[in-house]
Structure 1
C-alpha cells in the first residue's frame, strides 16, 4: 500500500491532546495515531450504516452464579446465526470472563450484546466491533 504525505494544521490545544493520545496509547508517532483514529471513525460509520461487521461481546461475572452461563447460552442459541463461537476463562477464584465472537449487521450485534450485558449479575460487559468486509 502506497503512503501519501500531507500537512495538518492544528491549534496548540488540539496538538497537545494528540500528543497525549499518542503517549497514552503507546503509538510510535503522530501519524500512526491519526491513522488509528481515522480507521476507528470509518468502522464506527459502518456500524451506523448497519454494515456487516465482526466483533466480540465480553462479559465478566461471578462464576458462582451458574444461571448466568445458562442464560448467556440461551441468548446465543436464540441468535446462533450471528454467533461464531464463545470461550470462557476463570480470571480468579470469583470472576469468569466469557468472550463471544459475533458477525452480522451492526444493529443486530448491538441488540445481542445489550441482551447479554444486561443479564442480572453481569459485572462488566462490552461490545467491540470491527469491519468484516
Structure 2
C-alpha cells in the first residue's frame, strides 16, 4: 500500500452533514474512504476530458430482428478492433439481445465507438461505464 498522508479540511456544517449522509447511504466505513473515491472519480473525469487511456464496458440491448442491424453492429465493432477487448452476447428473449463489450483505449475512441453503436436504429439502450486503464 502507498504511504498515507493526513491533512485537514474545513467544511460548512451543512456540507459535512450531507457528506455524512452520503457516507452512510453508501456504507463507507470512514470519511477517508469516501473522499478517496471522490478524488479518484474526479481524476478519472479529468483523464477522460484530456483523452487519456481508459477501460470500461459498453452495455447495449437491441432488437436482433431489425433489418441489417446485426451486420451494422458487427461492421462497427470490426472498425474498432483495437479498442474492443472482448464481447459477450446474451439472448434476452426471442426478439431482444444484450451485448456487453469490454473496451480499452483513448477516451475519444471509446466514446466514438459507443456513439456509433447507440445511434443505430434498433438499439434500444446503450450505456457506457468507464474506469481507469491503469
Q: Size of the alignment, in residue pairs?
A: 133
Q: Aligned Cα RMSD in Å?
A: 2.1
Q: Residues 19, 76 of structure 1: CA spacing in aligned structure 2 closer, same or farther, 3 A cutoff?
A: same
| Alpha-carbon distance, 1:27 to partner | 2.0
Normalising by structure 2, we get a TM-score of 0.83
Q: Which residue in 2 is equivalent to 1:113?
A: 114
Deviates more, 1:46-55 or 1:1-10: 1-10
Distance 1:37 1:91, change over 3 A: farther
Q: TM-score normalised to the size of structure 1?
A: 0.84
Q: Using the alignment, how far apart are the partners of 1:92 and 1:23 within structure 2? A: 38
Measured after TM superposition, the shift of residue 104 of structure 1 is 1.2
Bigger mean CA offset, 29-38 vs 70-79: 70-79
Tell me the distance in 2 between the aligned counterparts of 1:14 and 1:26. Answer: 18
Any gaps of 5 or more consecutive residues in structure 1?
Answer: none
Structure 1 partner of 2:125: 124
Query: Structure 1 stretches (4+) deviating beyond 3 angstroms?
Result: 62-70, 90-95
The alpha-carbon distance between structure 1 residues 90 and 29, as it changes in their structure 2 partners (threshold 3 A), is farther
**Who is 1:31 aligned against?**
32
